[in-house]
Amino acid sequence: MGWSLENISHFIDSWLYNEFDPTIARLIEFLIIAVCVIGLFAVLGLVLILMERKVSAWMQVRLGPNRVGPGGMFQTVADTLKLIVKEGMTPLNVDKFLFNLAPFIVMIVSMVVLAPLMFAKNFQIWDINIGILFITAVSSVSVIGILMAGWASNNKYSLLGAMRSGAQIVSYELSAGLSVLCIVVLTGSLRISDIINSQANGWWLFKGHIPVIIAFVIFIIAVTAETNRAPFDLAEAESELTAGFHTEYSGMKFALFFLAEYVNVFIVCAIGATIFLGGWMPLHIGNWNGFNHAMDYIPSFLWFFGKTFLLIFVIMWFRWTFPRLRIDQLLNLEWKYLLPISMFNLLLVTVIAILKWHF
């Protein structure tokens, strides 16, 4: 067997339990997990922000960051250093406790959501029985952190931004949930590993006919809105609200909000890749055995990250393609179009699932 992440984790696991007694081995395992997720967070922050800047530069036919390191590769590292030496101010009339607590809440939420994600073949932290529901449920808790930040800042822009953000996140959560349900109906399980295994002979996007494609489109729109990204970035519409709910935050606390925002983009794209594009499953086409074999040689974690970053690229693309919506247009889009459509779509998918029309 080669050096897949599954084998490495098995090797470390068995080595630890041989060398130490179970309690200590378990503690060391916890420590390794903690270090890994923190590392993942740091790397994701650096890579995604650089990617955002490079992609937007590419879209606008300019160079983007190109001074620090080869091709501007270390630009975000430099930015991080800058943020570290920035002063984290706490304005005088804020609610100090909640003001300082809010970035922690947002970070905890985006960290906990990582638990059921499957990064490679049989490589995940906790294969919870209701994985996909866990992700939708826990990620909705971040609204609390955002409202907390906006309210505690004692600033009208912050409060307004937080309110908009809350209204937006909760509205679009419904249609995101309904389009996730389409896949659950087809799979009959909420466990992430079951959902991925059901796509061994083809991804749901290709197997499930038009209703699944509609669900996929709705899902992408909804998660773009849920992560407060353009064209749905009303919560921090620079021209009206300065910076939305984190107007008063500076230094490292601001950096944490920023990081959580990008990690959330990664997480929603990872969910999209998992349920619609087959997670770590390689691309297989019917009976082309040679092609399928060649695809199997690509490591599974590359498949997962490749698909995820493809979706992230699509979401970044949106930002430079569509103009920002007004709040009434935003809520209209959800309540008058997306929600009825996705409810009806769910019924269509149910018919397909019961008649076994999918491949």
Partner 1 sequence: MGASSLIVLMIAAVAFSGIAILISKFVLKATTNKQKGEPYECGIPTKGPSWVQFNVGYYLFALIFLIFDVELIFLFPWAVVVKQVGWLALVEIVVFFFILFMGFLYAHKKGALKWM
Partner 2 sequence: MNITQILFWFLSALTVFSALMVVVSKNPVYSVLWLIFTFFCISGHYIMLNAQFLFIVNIIVYAGAIMVLFLFVIMLMNLNQSSEPKKHRWLRMAGVVAGGCLLLVLVAALKNIDIKKQVAETNTGDIGLIGNLGKVLFNQYVVPFEISSILFLSAMVGTVVIGKKE
Q: Single out the segment in contact with partner 2 by CB under 8 A; choices: 10-18, 128-136, 313-321, 335-343.
A: 128-136
For residues 26-65, which are near partner 1 according to CB under 8 A? 29-30, 33-34, 37-38, 41
Partner in contact with 224, chosen from partner 1, partner 2, none, beta carbon below 5 to 8 Å by kind: none
Checking phi first, is residue 242 left (phi over 0); if not, alpha (psi -120 to 50) or beta? left
15 binding partner 1? (CB under 8 A):
no
* Residue 247 near partner 1 by CB under 8 A: yes
Q: Which of 55, 113, 118, 190 binds partner 2 (CB under 8 A)?
A: 190
In angstroms, give the least distance from the CB of 228 to partner 1: 16
Q: Which of residues 141-160 bind partner 2 (CB under 8 A)?
A: 141, 143-144, 147-148, 151, 159
CB-based burial of residue 43 (10 Å sphere; 0-12 exposed, 13-18 middle, 19+ buried)? Answer: exposed
Residue 59 contact among partner 1, partner 2, none, beta carbon within 5 to 8 Å by kind: none
Contacts for 276 with CB less than 8 Å, ≥ 6 apart = 183, 203, 204, 205, 212, 215, 216, 219
Q: Residue 144 binds which entry of partner 1, partner 2, none, with Cβ cut-offs from 5 to 8 Å by kind? A: partner 2
Q: Does 108 bind partner 2 (CB under 8 A)?
A: no
Which tokens sit at 91? 């304005």
Q: Which does 252 bind (CB under 5 to 8 A by kind): partner 2, partner 1, none?
A: partner 1
Q: Which residues make Cβ contacts (< 8 Å) with residue 115, sequence separation at least 6? A: 124, 125, 126, 128, 134
Q: How far is CA 346 from CA 184, 215, 309, 339, in A?
A: 10, 8, 27, 11
Which residue of 88, 98, 206, 299 would you call a contact of partner 1, by CB under 8 A?
88
Cβ closest to partner 1, residue 72 vs residue 244: 244
Q: Tell me the closest approach of the beta carbon of residue 46 to partner 2, in angstroms.
A: 30
Minimal distance, residue 134 CB to partner 1, in Å: 10
Task: Please tell me whether residue 159 binds partner 1 under the rule CB under 8 A.
Answer: yes
- 346 in Cβ contact with 185 (< 8 Å): yes
* Sign, CA torsion 96/99/102/104: negative
Residue with tokens 């995940």: 124
Distance CA 296, CA 116 (A): 24
| Contacts of partner 1 in 260-299 (CB under 8 A) | none
* 300 touches 282 (CB < 8 A): yes
Where on the chain is the footprint of partner 2 (CB under 8 A)?
95, 98, 128-130, 133-134, 136-138, 140-141, 143-144, 147-148, 151, 159, 163, 166, 170, 189-190
